[in-house]
């Protein structure tokens, strides 16, 4: 595995991830990085990242830079590789860059984002499995998934992270809302509030400093870890969040997370399916050679406060959520 700032066509087959180099610490540069990342992943190279906050400059004690750092951190949370790096003011290696250097409010906001990223690891790791086994791209131009919608063809500041999450970074200083286009063909759920919007519309989304607009496509299934307060492993129960409105499916990918045995087929998938008409949720039979012990699954129908708890041992289970 190599992190590099040099790349060429088909480089992904060598296990490389690419960052964009030593970039300025400005909102203008953040705008450039979002568009550059989408152009880059459109070439088929899946693992893109930037120096969160920019590389050279920025004073963690200053409010204007704290704002930029938070907005960049929100974007970085939904990049294929999530990393913070840089030389802060006055530009030497002794200048602080840890979260606590930015003050308690920034530390709280960014800590919550780190926890969200780690809770989403079952979803993110599945996307990475799809990269390896299906040549997938986690960060996705809207045109990848909504090619029939001409309104998305020139969209430079929104993207899908996997099949479910519509990410809308805040790219200007001093703003607390931004215009968001919701692609046609489905409804969209505000990740933070649960509010539902029809697709094919442009809305003004609220964006206080601690919230980046984030939406979930209807007919999505997102697996989470229930907690990141202790070591994450297979003993941590999984929450399976079901966003209705249409049928949905998601194949959870698992391997040992440590070795290269997956190359010899030592991995598995667990199929999740949702029938929106019958309100039936199916946990399918585990497929593959990698098996873990019984799993505790907490299945949630979002927006309906419906929760089912089941013990999964690898065999098909059907539950009704209504």
Q: Tens digit of pLDDT for each residue in 97-139?
A: 899 999 999 999 999 999 999 999 999 999 999 999 999 999 9
Q: Tens digit of pLDDT for each residue in 4-25?
A: 988 888 888 888 899 999 999 9
Predicted TM-score (pTM) of the model is: 0.96
Q: What's residue 42's pLDDT?
A: 93
Q: pLDDT-derived band of residue 282, with 50, 70 and 90 as boundaries?
A: very high
Q: Is residue 89 predicted with pLDDT exceeding 90?
A: no
Alpha helices in 78-141 (DSSP H): 104-119, 121-134
Burial (0-12, 13-18, 19+ Cβ within 10 Å), 77: buried
Asked whether the beta carbons of 88 and 102 are under 8 A apart, the reply is no
Asked whether the beta carbons of 297 and 225 are under 8 A apart, the reply is no
Q: pLDDT-derived band of residue 28, with 50, 70 and 90 as boundaries?
A: very high
- Give per-residue burial for 176-188: e unless 16+ CB within 10 Å, then b: eebebbbbeebbb
Q: What's residue 236's pLDDT?
A: 76
Give whole-number Cα distances, 263 to 178, 289, 293, in Å. Answer: 44, 12, 22
Query: Residue 293: how many CB atoms within 10 A of its CB?
Result: 8
Let me know the angle formed at the C-alpha of 136 by 167 and 248, rounded to the nearest 5 degrees.
65
pLDDT, the chain, mean? 94
Q: Tens digit of pLDDT for each residue in 235-261?
A: 678 999 999 999 999 999 999 989 999
Query: Residue 322: how many CB atoms within 10 A of its CB?
Result: 9
Strand order, beta sheet including 2-4: 2-4, 16-19, 48-49
Q: pLDDT-derived band of residue 96, with 50, 70 and 90 as boundaries?
A: confident
For residues 244, 76, 35, 177, the Cα torsion angle rounded to the nearest 10 degrees is 70
Q: Is residue 229 predicted with pLDDT exceeding 70?
A: no
Average pLDDT over residues 81-101: 87
Q: Is residue 230 predicted with pLDDT exceeding 90?
A: no
Query: Residue 154: how many CB atoms within 10 A of its CB?
Result: 8
Closest CA to 138 of 38, 66, 209: 38
Q: What's residue 233's pLDDT?
A: 55
Q: What's residue 34's pLDDT?
A: 98
Give whole-number Cα distances, 228 to 62, 104, 118, 279, 308, in Å. Answer: 30, 20, 7, 30, 21
Per DSSP, what are the bridge partners of residue 320? 280
* Structural domains of the chain ordered from first start: 2-132 (3.20.20.80), 135-217 (2.60.40.1180), 220-320 (2.60.40.1180)
Per DSSP, what are the bridge partners of residue 318? 282
* Of residues 274 and 306, more confidently modeled: 274
């Amino acid at each position: 595995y190599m992190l590099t700032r040099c790349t060429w066509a088909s480089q992904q087959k060598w296990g490389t991830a690419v960052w964009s180099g030593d970039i300025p610490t400005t909102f203008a540069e953040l705008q450039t990085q979002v568009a550059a990342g989408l152009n880059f992943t459109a070439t088929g190279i899946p693992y893109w990242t930037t120096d969160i906050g920019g590389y050279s400059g920025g004073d963690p004690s200053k409010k204007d830079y704290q704002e930029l750092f938070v907005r960049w951190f929100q974007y970085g949370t939904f990049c294929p590789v999530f990393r913070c790096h840089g030389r802060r003011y006055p530009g030497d290696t002794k200048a602080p860059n840890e979260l606590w250097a930015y003050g308690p409010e920034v530390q709280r906001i960014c800590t919550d984002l780190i926890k969200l990223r780690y809770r989403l690891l079952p979803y993110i790791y599945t996307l990475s499995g799809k990269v390896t086994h299906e040549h997938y791209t986690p960060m996705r131009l809207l045109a990848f998934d909504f090619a029939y919608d001409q309104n998305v063809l020139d969209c430079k500041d929104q993207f899908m992270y996997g099949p479910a999450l519509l990410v809308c970074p805040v790219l200007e200083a001093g703003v607390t809302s931004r215009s968001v286009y919701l692609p046609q063909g489905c409804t969209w759920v505000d990740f933070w509030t649960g509010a539902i919007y029809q697709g094919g519309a442009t809305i003004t989304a609220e964006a206080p400093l601690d919230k980046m607009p984030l939406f979930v496509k209807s007919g999505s299934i997102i697996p989470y870890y229930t907690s990141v307060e202790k070591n994450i492993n297979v003993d941590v129960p999984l929450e399976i969040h079901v966003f209705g409105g249409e049928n949905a499916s998601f194949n959870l990918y698992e391997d040992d997370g440590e070795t290269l045995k997956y190359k010899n087929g030592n991995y598995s998938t667990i199929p999740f399916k949702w029938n929106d008409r019958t309100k039936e949720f199916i946990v399918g039979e585990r497929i593959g050679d990698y098996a873990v012990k019984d799993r505790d699954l907490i299945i949630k129908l979002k927006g309906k406060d419906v929760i089912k708890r089941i013990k999964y041992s690898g065999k098909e289970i059907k539950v009704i959520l209504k």
